[in-house]
Structure 1
Amino acid sequence: MQQEKKFDFNQVVAFVLMGLLLFGVMYWNTPSEEEVEKQKQELVQKEKNAEAKKAANVQQAQNVFQPVTGDAKDIEVSNEKINVKFAAKGGQIDAVQLKDYTSYDKHDKNTPLYLAKDGSNSFNLSFKTKNGVQINTKDLVFVPAVQKNSANTIITMTAQAQGGQIQYIYTLGNSYGIDLEVKSQGLSNITADNKVGLSWLMDGFSTEKGKDQEKYWAHTYFQFKESKDIEYELFGSDEWEETEAISWVANKQQFFSTILSSDEGFKNTKGGSLNADEEDAKFSKHYSFTSELELKNAELNHKLTFDFVPLDFDFLKDYNDKGFQNLIDFGWGIFGMLNKYFFLPVFKFLANFGIELGWAIFLLTIVVKLVLSPIMYKQYRQSALMKVLRPELNEINEKYKDSKDAMKKQQATMEIYRNAGVNPLAGCLPALLQIPIFYALFRFFPNLIDLRGVPFLFAEDLTAFDDIIQIPDWIPLLNGHLSIFAMLYIVAMMVYFKVSGSMDNFQMPQQEGMPNMEFMKYMMYIMPVFFFVFLNNYASGLSWYYLVSNALNVFIVLYIKKVMINESKVHQILEANKAKPKKEGKFASRMQDMMKKAQEMQEQQEQIKKNRK
């Protein structure tokens, strides 16, 4: 017999002693104020020592590489597309401005757009001297020399050492690309290494209105040397490491990209990106890339290219044969094909008429509706037939109320559908066919550079949300604004539900094995809320498209309902279907056999239960 547990005084004493012991240890090990201050001073001193060591290393490296005769100064050059600044410190590209584009600034619509500026772009080669001194080219002082001809501007940046030198030779033509030839002379006199480390760090400027969307579409992309497919990791930050050679790596932003490519390919590479802090309004991403450059005959001799390009699909297709157009994330498989070979060409064709791009989206919506009108007609026709059959289905439900008659009810229901020539699942198929279009458009509007910065009605930028209506920031999920386009879309959606009778379908009697109609009805009320929260912070071009689409749906359904299919015509169709001789297909025949066998098994089980009683 289990005995009652009694109070154990010894256990209480043990717990108290353990607590006192723990408190004593913590008190004993807690440093005094003098010790805390001493630790702080030691930490500060360590940081100072580290900075001093770094400065000493830089000084040693600069002592190895002394500037050649001439002024070590920054150089600025330009062509029709870009302005470029080359820094004497590090001999690297310090600033790049795209002339034809501006950066979003709510106070100044003419803010220049920079992809690199004020040290945001860092290109570095590293190796050790024979004496063990770490050389980083970003710390060296280069002296420039500029040559111009009719086609190109050539900037030669030189860092000189005793018995050797390193040169960056930049060539700027009339496009967005800058060729870079990395060369050395007498490097074997300086280092015993057979490889040089390459490091490329870049801070991506925030140039768009929709900051969250800008971060969402920004990542590092790369392409293997023997492939035309690009590799990337979507959603949040990315990190990757490859031993196989890659031909180029891209620091992609939403509408622009900085790409570093190599004729020979980069080996032993690492790369990735990190989201900038939410409080940091200056940058959207921090990119990193490392690789190795092999020395050839103990010298550097590599050809690289920097491209600072807008992500315009048609432009990039003709820009080169490296596949840069695949950086535009129009989606994979059928979704990408819909965008590249249907939506984009149709939109470009409509935009060429010189109309506002918002109205081009309006016309695009009409084109899509015309293409989908046969599907919509079949969907509504099926819905109307199901509505007329509702009284007969209600009678079946009343006749077979008992749960043991579930199979009989199912057979009777299927018989009504078969006689009327109605497929209860046919209404779902048109909706499924429209899913690829929905997803394709989700990718289309926030990646179409033609819409970037373009105002229309309530929106100042069709690739970002419209935010005329401001609300308190503490309201969750809405980010301090209400999108008028998104709200009007929800209104149009609810009107369409009412006019089309979509809600009526959820009044149908519950069938065995079918989804719970009451639950589906509630979902139809909740769905607009989810859509609004999503579209409120998304590209207003997409909200405008869906607003127009639902408004057109209302008129199309009214026309089908009043002209093409009214209730008398629906009855005529059902009567005609019932009069037709029924050809039982193999699938339907098998379903009937399965249902009969299931019914027989159910009856046998019930008989066994009765016999046991």
Structure 2
Amino acid sequence: MQQEKKFDFNQTIGFILIAILFGVFYFLNKPSEEQIEAQKKELVQKQQEAKKHEQLNNTASQQAFQAVDPTLAQDVEVSNDKLKVKFSPKGAQISDVEIIGFDAYDAKKDGNKDPLHLVKNGSSKFNLSFKTKQGTVLNVADLVFVPQVQKNANNTVITFTANAQNSQIQYIYTLGDAYGIDFEVKTQGLSNITAENKVDLAWTMDAFSTEKGKDQEKYWSHTYFQFKGNKDIEYELFGADEWNEEESISWVANKQQFFASVLSYDEGFKNTNGGSKNSEKEDLTYSKHFHLNSQMDLKNSEMNYKFTWDFIPLDYKMLKGYNDKGFQNLIDFGWGLFGWLNKYFFLNIFKWLASVGITYGWVIFLMTIVVKLILSPVMYKQYRQSALMKVVRPELNAINDKYKDSKDAMKKQQETMEIYRTAGINPLAGCLPALLQIPIFYALFRFFPNLIDLRGVPFWFVDDLTAYDDIIRIPEWVPLLNGHLSIFAVLYIVAMMVYFKISGSMDNFQMPQQEGMPNMQFMKYMMYIMPVFFFVFLNNYASGLSWYYLVSNTINIFIVLYIKKFMIHEAKIQQIIETNKTKPKKQGKFASKMQNMMQQAQEMQNQQKDNKKK
């Protein structure tokens, strides 16, 4: 027999003495204010010395390269019908990328719109570095290049050149008519500068916040990458991500909610690490800070690399035909069945309805009707099962009153199962329709926030179907609501409660408690609490999803009313049960096994009673 645990006074005294000793030790060893101040000065001095040393290294490295006439080192701007790109002579960097045909959300601008830049003011920095023969580190991003532009019918080629004595570094960019920019790195005579056999590659990028829903934008923004020779992509969700891979990687993407900046290298990046970090909550300029580091082998003591930059909108249909690298998988429609539903069911239905030419808000409305028509047989069976359970409730209540003693739980269970069997009711049948709807329910959580077609699209009082509607403002100090109430989310909760009422969903929780089944009273409370959780979530989520659920629940209400009025009513249900009772019952294997198990359990229980009496 387990003994009751008693309060151990000595053990408590021991813990108190240990805590006192730790406190005394900390007090005696705590540095004085003078020591803390001296440590701060020492740290600042070390930082200044390190910065000075870095500047000296850069100066010494740059002195090996020829000085450039400022009039020759000018910014270069090129464009096609998809991109506007600016290049800087400092480091031959891509200093600005604007995607044509898209706007960024800016609450401070008229109409809340601004040109959409994935790169601006040097927010992206690409650097190749190596140690020189003098022992200093040369960062190519610190060199000044001279550009030369060549144009032909299809392409614009920008060649940046930095010359040293008997050496040369070239960055060559080629912009065609797509979202991609071919990028070559070439050197001549690099062995005159370095004796190394590897070059360090580093790419950092501060991603501009381009969406209204800042929290959502951060949630969907991560680094993605693909192993060489593998079509699957790798990523980590939820907050910041950090990864380290030795295996070759063919491309790395700094993915934002609806756009991505991708660096590809067909030969494969090796010894690679990367990741992302959320910007501060108060920072509305940037959403993420990305970084990538890798090591590149020198070939015959020279750099000869062919990269590709892609600055792409995440449009699934467009990306499927864009290239064979699998960029369409950057759109997080979900894994397994959920992704399949979104890619091959919801997306195709949406595109088909949109081809009619109606606004996207009404496309969602029609899409909801299509889905409800498909699910209507499932919904009919679910309601029919609920109605059957409601009719036999008085018999179940009588059994519950008859066997109130916990010792009779097995008998109560047996008689309950007998009622279900004679009435032709399968208690688990009501769960199956609900389970069939879960994949659709979850898939839509991924669909609406990642569908670029809805981005920035207004509908009634909503200014963007991929973000929350905030026409009703409330104080910022109200927790969890972020200073607004979503009208669609409020109406959805109202529709949900009306549906619960008229469908009799709450009546199911008036059923007598069965042994081994969930507590019905607790489940009833959960049905009241659930709408609150849903509202808090949807209030800050894509309004297109709230609109879909509002329409869906409203249609559910009318479907239930129709079923109750014309298809299933209490008299008909009573007739079905009476008919089922007269039919010979064929017991299935599962039911037979369950009955045998209950009989065995009852026999064991009776044996235990007899043993106690003896």
> Deviation at 1:54?
2.0
Equivalent residue runs for 1:366-405 within 5 Å: 366-405=369-408
Change (3 A) 1:397 1:461: same
The match for 1:527 among 520, 523, 530 is: 530
Change (3 A) 1:125 1:490: same
CA deviation vs aligned residue, 1:55-97 (integer Å, no higher than 9, x gap): 2222112111224677111111111111101011001111100
Residue identity matched to 1:341: Y
3-state DSSP of counterpart to 2:135: coil
**Paired position in structure 1 for 2:94:** 93
**Paired position in structure 2 for 1:74:** 75
**Pairing 1:153–2:162 present:** no
Is the Cα–Cα contact under 8 Å of residues 272 and 293 in structure 2 kept in the other structure? yes
**Paired position in structure 2 for 1:263:** 266
Is the Cα–Cα contact under 8 Å of residues 94 and 122 in structure 2 kept in the other structure? no
Equivalent residue runs for 1:462-501 within 5 Å: 462-501=465-504
Residue identity matched to 2:199: V
CA deviation vs aligned residue, 1:437-493 (integer Å, no higher than 9, x gap): 011000000000000011112311111111111111111111111111000000000
Residue identity matched to 2:584: P
**Paired position in structure 2 for 1:116:** 119
Instruction: Name the stretch that deviates more: 575-584 or 304-313.
Output: 575-584
Change (3 A) 1:18 1:275: closer
**Pairing 1:429–2:432 present:** yes
User: 1-side partners of 2:526 and 2:179: how far apart?
Assistant: 50
Is the Cα–Cα contact under 8 Å of residues 381 and 565 in structure 1 kept in the other structure? yes
> Deviation at 1:608?
1.2
Detail structure 1 runs of 4+ shifted over 3 Å in the superposition: 15-26, 35-48, 67-70
**Paired position in structure 2 for 1:9:** none
Equivalent residue runs for 1:40-439 within 5 Å: 42-67=42-67, 71-108=72-109, 109-439=112-442
> Deviation at 1:204?
0.7
User: 2-side partners of 1:348 and 1:396: how far apart?
Assistant: 55
CA deviation vs aligned residue, 1:358-397 (integer Å, no higher than 9, x gap): 1100000000000100000000000000000111111211
* Aligned residue-pair number: 594
**Paired position in structure 1 for 2:541:** 538
User: 2-side partners of 1:284 and 1:579: how far apart?
Assistant: 67
Residue identity matched to 2:74: K
Residue identity matched to 1:79: N
Residue identity matched to 2:50: A
> Deviation at 1:424?
1.0
User: 2-side partners of 1:22 and 1:197: how far apart?
Assistant: 44
**Pairing 1:554–2:557 present:** yes
CA deviation vs aligned residue, 1:236-281 (integer Å, no higher than 9, x gap): 1101111110110000000000000012111111110000111111
**Paired position in structure 2 for 1:30:** 32
Change (3 A) 1:496 1:19: closer
**Pairing 1:594–2:614 present:** no
Is the Cα–Cα contact under 8 Å of residues 177 and 308 in structure 1 kept in the other structure? yes
Instruction: Name the stretch that deviates more: 377-386 or 567-576.
Output: 567-576
> Deviation at 1:407?
0.9
> Deviation at 1:30?
2.0
Instruction: Name the stretch that deviates more: 352-361 or 330-339.
Output: 352-361
3-state DSSP of counterpart to 2:89: coil
3-state DSSP of counterpart to 1:319: coil
User: 1-side partners of 2:526 and 2:75: how far apart?
Assistant: 63
3-state DSSP of counterpart to 1:103: strand
3-state DSSP of counterpart to 1:111: strand
Residue identity matched to 1:57: N
Instruction: Name the stretch that deviates more: 487-496 or 285-294.
Output: 285-294
**Paired position in structure 1 for 2:587:** 584
**Paired position in structure 2 for 1:605:** 608
TM-score norm. by structure 1 comes to 0.94
Change (3 A) 1:403 1:226: same
User: 1-side partners of 2:521 and 2:392: how far apart?
Assistant: 19
> Deviation at 1:45?
4.0
> Deviation at 1:352?
1.2
Residue identity matched to 1:569: K
Is the Cα–Cα contact under 8 Å of residues 145 and 155 in structure 1 kept in the other structure? yes
> Deviation at 1:402?
2.1
Residue identity matched to 2:172: I
3-state DSSP of counterpart to 1:601: helix
3-state DSSP of counterpart to 1:150: coil
User: 2-side partners of 1:16 and 1:511: how far apart?
Assistant: 54
Residue identity matched to 2:529: I
> Deviation at 1:533?
0.5
Is the Cα–Cα contact under 8 Å of residues 68 and 158 in structure 1 kept in the other structure? no
Instruction: Name the stretch that deviates more: 193-202 or 106-115.
Output: 106-115
Change (3 A) 1:250 1:494: same
> Deviation at 1:577?
1.0
Change (3 A) 1:16 1:206: closer
> Deviation at 1:575?
1.3
**Paired position in structure 1 for 2:457:** 454
User: 2-side partners of 1:552 and 1:511: how far apart?
Assistant: 33
**Pairing 1:513–2:502 present:** no
> Deviation at 1:590?
1.3
Is the Cα–Cα contact under 8 Å of residues 509 and 521 in structure 2 kept in the other structure? yes
Percent of aligned positions with the same letter in both sequences? 71
> Deviation at 1:206?
0.4
Change (3 A) 1:171 1:67: farther
Is the Cα–Cα contact under 8 Å of residues 458 and 485 in structure 1 kept in the other structure? no
User: 1-side partners of 2:196 and 2:388: how far apart?
Assistant: 80
User: 1-side partners of 2:215 and 2:289: how far apart?
Assistant: 15
Residue identity matched to 1:76: E
Change (3 A) 1:267 1:554: same
Task: Calculate the aligned-residue CA RMSD, in Å.
Answer: 1.9
CA deviation vs aligned residue, 1:85-131 (integer Å, no higher than 9, x gap): 10110011111001111100123233111000112100000011111
Is the Cα–Cα contact under 8 Å of residues 102 and 110 in structure 1 kept in the other structure? yes
**Paired position in structure 1 for 2:6:** none
Change (3 A) 1:152 1:381: same
Gaps of 5+ in 1: 6-14
Is the Cα–Cα contact under 8 Å of residues 68 and 144 in structure 2 kept in the other structure? no
Change (3 A) 1:415 1:24: closer
3-state DSSP of counterpart to 2:63: helix
User: 1-side partners of 2:551 and 2:586: how far apart?
Assistant: 43
Change (3 A) 1:556 1:266: same
> Deviation at 1:41?
5.1
Change (3 A) 1:314 1:16: closer
User: 2-side partners of 1:519 and 1:134: how far apart?
Assistant: 67
Change (3 A) 1:241 1:575: same
Change (3 A) 1:520 1:157: same
3-state DSSP of counterpart to 1:65: coil
Instruction: Name the stretch that deviates more: 215-224 or 292-301.
Output: 292-301
CA deviation vs aligned residue, 1:555-587 (integer Å, no higher than 9, x gap): 000000110101111011111111111111111
User: 2-side partners of 1:378 and 1:211: how far apart?
Assistant: 42
3-state DSSP of counterpart to 2:373: helix
Is the Cα–Cα contact under 8 Å of residues 95 and 120 in structure 2 kept in the other structure? yes
Change (3 A) 1:37 1:533: closer
